[in-house]
A and B are shown apart, each in its own frame.
Chain A
């Protein structure tokens, strides 16, 4: 269901964990909250579900105002009908799988026969049809995650909140469950908020991503848009841009100065050309994705664009090789070369080049 969060502020004593945050989630949308540890993701979710009382703001789900600090409205968690998958899954170990899933239905006073039916149905939808009578304390991590999901889905919630639901699982399982989750959410048309600090998870799952930092949303955009155009170096950093250098714009390129800017990296004499035009003298961050760094072993044709560097280390990753380079009289640079060729040996001299349209000049 459509959800509106307006001017949400949450305080712990003097510490402001969420600061004047506003957020709209469309019906059937999967919104991913992405951000570093302690930025207030969990706190935001707990406020929406009703486990944390915010200091200010309003929260509306569909037509119902569930929280309004000014009007003193605060619907308790058990009346909000929002599902939540906890990071620890919070599967009750003293109940069986079926009893866990039946719990919200019992609370809704659904007749017994119908409970049985709906539990079976929901367990089947997460692929646990035979697990009903099992004790919940003897499940694997992936099974627990499904039980937690089934339990929340069984109550037919207005929306579903997932707090790092895959972070306790190993990498392979994580990837598989990620797709299952996405497909299930789309087929049910379930509105969902998904919290993570894993960028690849965010990109794979989201209709839209909200990057959070210190209790505020730094950027809110679709995954493709955000990947291409991070608004700040913080967002870029979070989306896997490894090369971020503090710099200052020193000049422009082209006859009328519209072909791009030249930025001088702080603390070195290296100039990088970017396609964007920025005011001369303004500070900026030069952001370069490792896969956009082109490596050439021999001297390039236009040496003014190239930087000489030495290979510090190389990690062969199968379909690509990742290099740690030391730029001559400059910073470290990370580069990724596609293909399964033999990696360059440490100490090898290379030239690097970055096309100006792949260089981004961003604010902090």
Chain B
């Protein structure tokens, strides 16, 4: 299309035409590039990047210090826990996905729900609940074991314990990816193997899981990134025994006096490099291994008959629910509704007299909870609205216009996927401490979440935009509607549910997040996850349990509502 009007009023019009690109690029630079830049800068100088401090001298000491014994141990732990827990999460997630997607396991929808249920708890609450359950000696599980005359061997404050808890709470990601891939698999591919002489185990290992290898590999790298950058689990379960990973080490460098912000930045940079490399590898791997297994003709999925293994398989799925949801809820209820935090045995746990609602009532009435719940909602809603608008504008620009710079924008929009949440928080801290209008308010949290959730939001809205065929818009243009009118009357109504679903996803994910906020809150701007964490650091366990229960209830309702009425099914919810 040649547009004469633009050429006619040359320079002014051209500037005007570039305005959207400039605006979007500026926003992305502020949200993504600047924080990472300042973080990297801080890792190479000897002065903390605080307001008023001098620029500092170039040094590599911060990186050299990372080779100290403590830091080396943290890196090794990150790797060991990351790999071990990823393997465990894959086994759990793939197993559940296969049962739910391809077998005649009883109560199928229950098994399917089991695969995602742990997401309601978030890794923070999961870790807290498991510290109540599995701490050495005082953990509820050990109390029960002693009461039964068995050795009290449970100890989640250990590397195997960290692997176990991380695996349990990150299994849903493998489940979601592998489940959707398995349920799209043409069953004739498996049947052909049976017909050609293969036995069940050949088919399962040689055909079924080989065919969903791209999904399994994708899930593996994603889970590995998530677990390695996870902060709450190693902080809650590892630090009591001095077991640190890179994220908890970054926090320790920041939070224990004298704080070493430059070293923390260097550790953050290392973590950033590790996750970035893995995300890059994942993209490459997935790009080259896209098996097309879905045929045009509709097929009826024919479930594999498990025979006498039906009920044992179901029991395994329920065992997972027990470990991921039921036991933690039990521990939280025990701790929140109890006069005396110490129990002696099983009988004491279930004696009606030992239950009381005082802590719960106090917590519900406390200003701390109410304020932080309000803050959480405000931050979540702010991120959902501001983010929703930004992601929509970005997605529209990238997918629906022919303007320059589209590749660059979509590329930068995916960056935060490679940046650990804790590192985003650190970058925002260094960037915004100079601006008291932003720093110390809820706005900085909103900004950080909008940046952190950019990939999910951009992808979510893009996919609903792509589904609307350009012909639909073009036919409106042909019918005489202007550009803006077309967007307003055709595009917006068509993508509305997709956009709302993405905004809800942003809302939920930001409610669930601790790590982004941990360096950015002040006493007035605590969100719920921060309040819970602070209460835990202060050793106030009953309020921790009570607030966690409120938190879970809130997440549950939100997730349920968005799944039920808005069809939010993106990974992670």
Q: How far is the CA of A77 from the CA of B211 in the complex (A)?
A: 21
Residue B571 CB within 8 A of the other chain: no
Contact of A103 among B186, B193, B293 (CB under 8 A): B193
**Residue on B nearest A107 in the bound complex, by CB:** B197
Residues 23-77 (chain A) with a chain B CB within 8 angstroms: 49-51, 76-77
A88–B194 touching, CB < 8 Å = no
Does B150 have its Cβ within 8 Å of any Cβ on chain A? no
Decide if A107 touches B189 in the complex (CB within 8 Å): no
Give B329 Cβ to nearest chain A Cβ, in Å: 38
In the complex, are the beta carbons of A78 and B195 less than 8 A apart? yes
Selecting from A90-98, A249-257, A289-297, A338-346, the interface stretch reads A90-98
Is B211 touching A90 in the complex (CB atoms < 8 A)? no
Cα–Cα, bound, A90→B190 (Å): 8
Asked whether B202 is an interface residue with its Cβ less than 8 Å from the other chain, the reply is yes
A166 in the interface (beta carbon within 8 A): no
B147 to chain A: which residues have CB within 8 Å? none
CB-nearest residue of chain B relative to A85? B192
| Distance of A155 Cα from B189 Cα, bound (Å) | 17
Q: How far is the CA of A274 from the CA of B192 in the complex (A)?
A: 50
**Using Cβ atoms and an 8 Å threshold, which residues of chain A touch B195?**
49-51, 77-78, 80, 82-84, 152
Cα distance A50–B191 in the bound complex, in angstroms: 10
Q: How many A-B residue pairs have CB under 8 A?
A: 75
Query: Measured between C-beta atoms, what is the minimum distance from A47 to chain B in Å?
Result: 13
Partner of B191, one of A80, A86, A155: A86
B188 touches A88 (CB 8 A): yes
Shortest CB distance B104–A (Å): 13
Interface residues of B in 160-203 (CB under 8 A from A): 186, 188-189, 191-199, 202
Chain A residues near B202 (CB, 8 Å)? 107
B550 within 8 A of A: no
Cβ-based interface call for B207 (8 A): yes
Q: Kindly name the residue among B191, B210, B292 whose own CB sees the greatest number of chain A CB atoms within 10 A.
A: B191
Known A-B contacts A84-B192, A86-B188, A88-B186; the reply to A93 vs B292 at CB < 8 A is yes
Q: Which of A307-352 contact B (CB under 8 A)?
A: none
Query: In the complex the two chains form, is B292's CB within 8 Å of A155's CB?
Result: no
Smallest Cβ distance from B419 to chain A, in angstroms?
33
CA distance A151 to B291 in the complex (A): 20
Establish whether residues A137 and B291, one from each chain, have CB atoms under 8 Å apart when the complex forms.
yes
Name the distance in Å between A48's Cβ and chain B's nearest Cβ: 11
> Which of A51, A83, A93, A137 is within 8 Å of B194, CB to CB?
A51
Q: Quick one: CB contact mask for B101-130 with A, threshold 8 Å, 1 for yes?
A: 000000000000000000000000000000
CB distance from B287 to the nearest CB of A (A): 14
Asked if A200 CB lies within 8 Å of chain B CBs, one says no
Contacts of A49 in B (CB 8 A): 195
What is the 8 Å Cβ interface bit string for chain A, positions 132-161, against chain B (1 contact, 0 not)?
000001000000000010011001000000
> 1/0 per position for B283-299, CB-CB distance to A under 8 A?
00000000111010101
Query: Measured between alpha carbons, how far is A137 from B294 in the docked complex, in Å?
Result: 11
| Given A88-B188, A92-B189, A155 and B291 contact (CB-CB distance below 8 Å) | no
* Partner pick for B210 among A81, A94, A151, CB 8 A cutoff: A94
Quick check: is B371 within 8 A (CB to CB) of the other chain?
no
CB contacts (< 8 Å) of A93 on chain B: these are 211, 291-293
Q: For B213, give its contact among A80, A81, A94 (CB under 8 Å).
A: A94
Q: Is the CB of A94 within 8 A of B196?
A: no
A104 an interface residue at 8 Å Cβ cutoff?
yes
Is A299 part of the contact surface with B, judged by Cβ < 8 Å? no
CA distance A103 to B191 in the complex (A): 13
A-side contacts of B189, CB under 8 Å: 90, 92
Q: How far is the CB of A72 from chain B (nearest CB, A)?
A: 15
Is A268 part of the contact surface with B, judged by Cβ < 8 Å? Answer: no
The CA-CA distance from A351 to B188 in the complex, in Å, is 54
- Tell which of A51, A81, A87, A103 touches B198, judged by Cβ atoms closer than 8 Å: A103
Asked if A108 is an interface residue, CB under 8 A from chain B, the answer is: yes
A335 to B198, CA, bound (A): 53
A87 to B191, CA, bound (A): 12
| Chain B residues whose C-beta falls within 8 Å of the C-beta of A50 in the assembled complex | 194-195
**Chain A residue at minimal CB-CB distance from B197:** A107
CB distance from B22 to the nearest CB of A (A): 43
Q: Give the interface centre of A78, A104, A108, A148 by most chain B CB atoms within 10 Å.
A: A78
Chain B 505-544 interface residues, beta-carbon cutoff 8 Å to A: none
Which residues from B are CB-within-8-Å of A108?
Answer: 197
**B214 (CB) vs chain A CBs: closest residue:** A94
Q: Which of B197, B199, B293, B299 interacts with A81 by CB under 8 Å?
A: B197
Shortest A340–chain B CB gap in Å is 38
Chain A residues within 8 Å of B188, by CB: 86-88, 90
Q: How distant is A27 from chain B, measured CB to nearest CB, in Å? A: 21
- Given the complex, which residues of B lie within 8 Å of A107, measured CB to CB? 196-199, 202
When chains A and B are docked, how far (Å) is the Cα of A50 from the Cα of B194?
A: 9
Complex CA distance for A264 and B299, rounded to whole angstroms:
46
Q: A77-B191, A88-B186, A94-B211 are in contact. Are A155 and B297 (CB under 8 A)?
A: no
Q: Which residues of A contact B211 (CB under 8 A)?
A: 92-94
* Known A93-B293, A137-B291; contact A76-B192, beta-carbon cutoff 8 A: no
Q: How far is the CA of A104 from the CA of B206 in the complex (A)?
A: 12
Bound Cα distance A252, B211 (Å): 68
Query: Complex formed: what's the CA distance from A81 to B207 in Å?
Result: 19
Query: Which residues of B sit under 8 angstroms from A90, Cβ to Cβ?
Result: 186, 188-189, 191-192
When C-beta atoms are compared, the residue in chain B nearest to A51 turns out to be: B191
Contacts of B297 in A (CB 8 A): 87-88, 168
Pairwise interchain contact B192-A86, C-beta atoms closer than 8 A? yes
Provided the pairs A87-B297, A94-B213 are in contact, do residues A78 and B197 lie with their beta carbons within 8 angstroms? yes
A82 to B457, CA, bound (A): 51
Which residues in window 253-281 of A have CB below 8 A to B? none
Candidate in A77, A80, A90, A168 with the most chain B CB atoms within 10 angstroms: A90
Residue of A nearest to B211 (CB): A94
* A155-B196 contact given A86-B188, A93-B211, A94-B291, CB 8 Å threshold: yes
CB atoms of A78 and B291 under 8 A apart: no
**CB-CB < 8 A to A88: which residues of B?**
186, 188, 295, 297, 299
**Would A92 and B207 count as touching, CB distance under 8 A?**
yes
Q: Which residues in A have their C-beta under 8 angstroms from that of B295?
A: 88
> A155: which B residues are within 8 A, CB to CB?
196-197
Q: Which chain B residues border A83 with CB–CB below 8 Å?
A: 195-196
**Chain A residues within an 8 Å CB radius of B193:** 92, 103
Q: How far is the CB of B254 from chain A (nearest CB, A)?
A: 47
- B209-258 CB contacts (< 8 Å) to partner A: 210-211, 213
Interface centre among B193, B199, B210, B302 (most CB of A within 10 A): B193
Given contacts A92-B192, A92-B193, A92-B207, 7 further A-B contacts (CB under 8 A): A51-B302, A78-B199, A83-B195, A90-B189, A104-B197, A107-B199, A107-B202
A-B residue pairs, 3 tightest by C-beta? A107-B197, A104-B196, A90-B192
Instruction: Please list the residues of chain B having a beta carbon within 8 angstroms of any beta carbon in chain A.
Output: 186, 188-189, 191-199, 202, 207, 210-211, 213, 291-293, 295, 297, 299, 302
**Can you show 28 pairs from A to B with CB atoms below 8 A apart?**
A51-B191, A51-B195, A51-B302, A78-B194, A78-B196, A78-B199, A79-B197, A81-B197, A82-B195, A86-B192, A88-B186, A90-B186, A92-B189, A92-B193, A92-B211, A93-B292, A94-B210, A94-B211, A94-B291, A103-B193, A103-B198, A104-B196, A107-B197, A107-B199, A137-B292, A152-B196, A155-B197, A168-B297
